[in-house]
Structure 1
């Protein structure tokens, strides 16, 4: 279970790190408007880039910690049941984001074409992969 957990933690950390970068830079896009079309599905005008991106990075970092504890990579702080429940919630959110959100994007049709393309090719599959790994940790973890 440690290898599965490690894969999930590394994936969550990578996605969290990318969100932290976006708080300060539009990388790998050339500007915030292009980045917004790809990651938000619109022009992103008025979007609170710094605070929102840092918050999302913190959420993903916390999720990584929960998965690390549940898979036996780190010691728990508090009751082990919190990490079990947390892993289930994280898995459910990631799997729902990966499986349901693309249908919403397709049906609603108000997102940019760039976002729809990236969502189907990258975002949804990454969420499904991380959700599947986290589900495995929730089912068989040590925490």
Structure 2
């Protein structure tokens, strides 16, 4: 069977989404890979006030949503069997794609144009966070374009 670049991109995106989900689970207990909670809040969350830190349930919710997005991309690309109809799977995957694309675009505007947040967050948002979410959202959107039964 020839390699399909579409399926390779979907597999890579699902792997990254699953890794990000796992990283959010780590962040429930640790600021890894940073050395302190304060540095983590500044660099990853974009906050300098510890009292405005997201609550643990929110981090857990993001971890769960990222895991669901990974499954949606895998199911949409035909790697795993989905329990949803093709139409529903495409709709839900489209919502995930829209959220990822919106987060990526908002990050570019807020960090790049408006300059909101600490400098370390803005740097990583422009170099990594926003481009990565835009790429993941693009792959998720492409998954919704596959015809039923033909990943």
| TM-score past 0.5 threshold | yes
Looking at structure 2, the residues matched to 33 and 21 of structure 1 have their Cα atoms a distance apart, in angstroms, of 16
Range 90-99 or range 6-15, more displaced? 90-99
Cα deviation for residue 13 of structure 1 reads: 0.6
Asked whether the equivalents of residues 28 and 59 of structure 2 are also in contact (C-alpha less than 8 Å), the reply is yes
* Secondary structure of the corresponding residue to residue 100 of structure 1: helix
Q: RMSD across aligned C-alpha pairs, in angstroms?
A: 1.8
Asked whether the equivalents of residues 108 and 125 of structure 2 are also in contact (C-alpha less than 8 Å), the reply is yes
User: Corresponding residue for 1:57?
Assistant: 63
User: Corresponding residue for 1:139?
Assistant: 145
Normalization by structure 1: what TM-score? 0.89
Looking at structure 2, the residues matched to 77 and 10 of structure 1 have their Cα atoms a distance apart, in angstroms, of 20
Runs of 4+ residues deviating >4 angstroms: none
Looking at structure 2, the residues matched to 141 and 37 of structure 1 have their Cα atoms a distance apart, in angstroms, of 43
Range 68-77 or range 113-122, more displaced? 68-77
Looking at structure 2, the residues matched to 136 and 79 of structure 1 have their Cα atoms a distance apart, in angstroms, of 17
User: Corresponding residue for 1:21?
Assistant: 26
Normalization by structure 2: what TM-score? 0.85
Cα deviation for residue 108 of structure 1 reads: 4.0
Asked whether the equivalents of residues 70 and 141 of structure 1 are also in contact (C-alpha less than 8 Å), the reply is no
Q: How many residues align?
A: 143
The runs of 5 or more residues in structure 1 that have no matched partner are none
User: Corresponding residue for 2:36?
Assistant: 31
Cα deviation for residue 100 of structure 1 reads: 3.1
User: Corresponding residue for 2:98?
Assistant: 92
The runs of 5 or more residues in structure 2 that have no matched partner are 1-5
Structure with the greater relative contact order (CA < 8 A, sep ≥ 6): 1 or 2? 1
Cα deviation for residue 104 of structure 1 reads: 2.2
